[in-house]
Amino acid sequence: MSVEIVRDLRGLHTSIARHRNGPLNTAASLAIVPTMGAIHKAHEKLIMEAKRNADIVLATIFVNPMQFGKNEDFNKYPKSEEEDIKRLESKGCNIIYIPNVETIYPDGFDLSINVPKLSSILCGKKRPAHFEGVCTIVTKLLLQSGADYAVFGEKDYQQLLIIKRLVKNLDIPCQILPIETVRDENGLAISSRNQYLNTENRNIANNINKIMKNAADNYKNKDIESTINLVKNNFLDSGIKKIDYVEIRKGENLDVISNNDKSNARLFIAVYISDTRLIDNIKL
Ligand code: AMP
């Protein structure tokens, strides 16, 4: 059966019911892969992970206005619907849900979901209301679909932990499946926003992973502050002019880390290259 494209809630429910009760029979499980489109290799890996775990795979494409700040790139976010559908279908996606803004946020919509503590640090500190937008759309998509599994990438590590907390605290019966960050041949974390980089900026961005790996290699022998300074100085030397943050936190809960207990640490960074904001994180 070829992929089914649905654009409203009724279509989504009908399609899911047909797939669950159809040739796959009633016990069929469903995995959702939420995306903002501009499908790339990392999204394809998420689909493959969904397929490995569930009988039916639902991808969603929705550029969520609620998670963008006023001066951010909502209006220029790359769109390639036709190509996206082909790529998702070729990876075995069964249903693609492409709602418009009115479908998700109809007149009178007045709700936001917040995971306040985890959302107050790192990207949340720099992008106020961003994670509230993410939590609201993810909650809606999980409830609309009734998915048994949802797949998210470690590239957005803070988002992943926030969504795990959200699902747990709201008792949503959906298992969150993470996948590791997918990188290109230079180690750059693949992102739809990499499209914004010209050749010169791309060359600068190619240093990010090397610098982070170098910090990981030397982490054991340095204190936290020296590691952070090393990364910051290396970023500046490589031509990155604006550093949003460089922080080291606990991988399991994003708590701050002390030199007394440097275990289970992750390095989190956000930088601007020209106007493009890139984020990354690695285990130290
Ligand atoms: P986006 O379309 O950028 O909102 O991302 C949709 C999903 O893909 C999220 O779960 C992201 O964490 C995940 N994702 C995006 N880029 C990567 C990557 N390079 N590696 C792993 N997951 C990714």
Residue 192 CA to ligand 1 center (angstroms) comes to 9
CB 163 within 8 A of CB 133: no
Measure the CA–CA gap between 184 and 190, rounded to whole angstroms.
Answer: 6
Query: Residues 19, 40, 43, 130: which is the catalytic one?
Result: 43
Quote the radius of gyration of the chain (alpha carbons, Å).
Answer: 19
pLDDT for 26: 60
Q: Which two tokens stand for residue 27?
A: 């016990």
Measure the CA–CA gap between 42 and 277, rounded to whole angstroms.
Answer: 18
Q: Which two tokens stand for residue 282?
A: 């690695």
Q: Which two tokens stand for residue 172?
A: 């949503």
CB 55 within 8 A of CB 65: no
156 CA closest ligand 1 atom index:
12
Task: Clarify whether 43 is annotated catalytic.
Answer: yes
Ligand 1, residues at Cβ distance < 6 Å: 35-36, 42-43, 46, 152-153, 155-156, 179, 181-182, 189-192
Locate the DSSP E strands across 89-174. Answer: 95-97, 149-153
Residue 4 CA to ligand 1 center (angstroms) comes to 22
Q: Which two tokens stand for residue 166?
A: 């959200």
152 CA closest ligand 1 atom index:
10
Cα 119 to the center of its chain, rounded Å: 14
Domains of the chain, each with CATH number or no CATH: 4-179 (3.40.50.620), 192-283 (3.30.1300.10)
Residue 35 CA to ligand 1 center (angstroms) comes to 7
**Closest CA relative to residue 57, chosen from 96, 7, 22, 26:** 96
pLDDT for 113: 98
Whose Cα sits closest to atom 10 in ligand 1? 152
Measure the CA–CA gap between 207 and 201, rounded to whole angstroms.
Answer: 10
Residue 189 CA to ligand 1 center (angstroms) comes to 9
Successive 10-residue mean pLDDT values, the chain, 284 residues: 94 95 75 98 98 97 97 94 98 98 97 98 96 98 98 98 98 98 97 95 98 95 95 98 97 96 97 96 97
Please give the model's pTM, rounded to 2 decimal places: 0.97
pLDDT for 21: 83
